[in-house]
Amino acid sequence: MTRSTRQRERESETETDAEEEVVQQCPECGSEELVKDADRGELVCDDCGLVVEEGNIDPGPEWRAFNHQERQEKSRVGAPTTKTMHDKGLTTTIDWKDKDAYGRSISSKKRSQMHRLRKWQERIRTKDAGERNLQFALSEIDRMASALGVPRSVREVASVIYRRALDDDLIRGRSIEGVATSALYAACRKEGIPRSLEEISDVSRVERKEIGRTYRYISQELGLEMEPVDPKKYVPRFCSELDLSEEVQSKANEIIEETAEQGLLSGKSPTGYAAAAIYAASLLCNEKKTQREVADVAQVTEVTIRNRYQEQIEAMGIHS
């Protein structure tokens, strides 16, 4: 009897919740365009202005902040979880400052005790070989991302890709650095912040050939849908490093668009293609840069720039 009564109570609660989930309408005009005013705790009809509900509970904090600094000072929660750390940033760390809560120096006996505690705390943060692998790989991703100057979102995506590769046992038989570098390269492409394999290999401890091979294997096994890199995404960065004007940048994008429509981009390296378009645009805009200068910035050879340049000017009907 008791069980059946409880079941009936649960069913009635479920029905009540289902009724509450029904779309609310304004009793005055029947409109469903109801807007919540968080400051006043009211539910207002957007069409006729009727206050449908008032005195709603505000789930936000009891304090008010008017800028980011005030919000950081008044907030009483810890840092958010992150995929860029092997323990997601949930463990606490013992500070290396030998100070107490009041900022005073601690005694030598306490210092030696804290040193031992720090050492053991570092040891117990990783419980097995898998976590040690992850800790080293994520630190490598963070180091390379800092050297490349990519935003934090790329590091988060790279960490997620590496975790997926580790869960699917794709690391076996491959170096940790190689898989970590490939994950970072994939994250850069996925986030629309292209970095060439040459740039990635410059900050990595593995060779370019191994990065490319590992990247193809991981993207195939994990089913990463990667679109071809658009050469126009390289143009702003290359033009900035070459100190070229907006006019050259706009002309280079125009050259890439017109020649790509004719099918010249198929099978070509996007960095070399962008570099040749910038070289052609600099000549057309009377801001000449040598092939060597453009090649050094794009990390391609002068022969590549010459070949792509000749193809592009012929396709556009420009005589050199």
Provide the 8-state DSSP code for 232. Answer: G
Asked if residue 239 belongs to a known ligand binding site, the reply is: no
Q: What strand order describes the sheet that includes 34-37?
A: 34-37, 42-45, 51-53
Of the candidates 75, 79, 100, 97, the residue with the CA atom closest to the CA atom of residue 88 = 79
Task: Write down the H helix ranges in the chain.
Answer: 2-20, 68-74, 108-124, 129-148, 152-167, 176-190, 197-203, 208-222, 235-242, 246-261, 270-284, 291-298, 302-315
- For the stretch 303-307, contacts whose Cβ atoms lie closer than 8 Å and that sit 24 or more positions apart, written own/partner, are 304/269, 304/272, 304/275, 304/276, 305/272, 305/275, 305/276, 305/279, 307/276
Burial 38-71 (b: 16+ CB within 10 A, else e): eeeeebbbeeeeeeeeeeeeeeeeeeeeeeeeee
Of the candidates 9, 163, 182, the residue with the CA atom closest to the CA atom of residue 83 = 163
Asked if residue 188 belongs to a known ligand binding site, the reply is: no
Asked if residue 45 belongs to a known ligand binding site, the reply is: yes
C-alpha dist (Å) from residue 241 to 151, 161, 231: 19, 31, 16
Neighbouring-strand partners of residue 51: 44
Q: DSSP 3-state assignment of 94? A: coil
Neighbouring-strand partners of residue 42: 37
- CA angle 247-252-254, nearest 5°? 95
**Backbone phi, then psi, for 34, in 5-degree steps?**
-105, 130
Asked if residue 48 belongs to a known ligand binding site, the reply is: yes
What is d(CA 165, CA 41) in angstroms, rounded to the nearest whole number? 47
Bind-site residues: 26, 29, 45, 48
Bind-site residues for Zn(2+): 26, 29, 45, 48
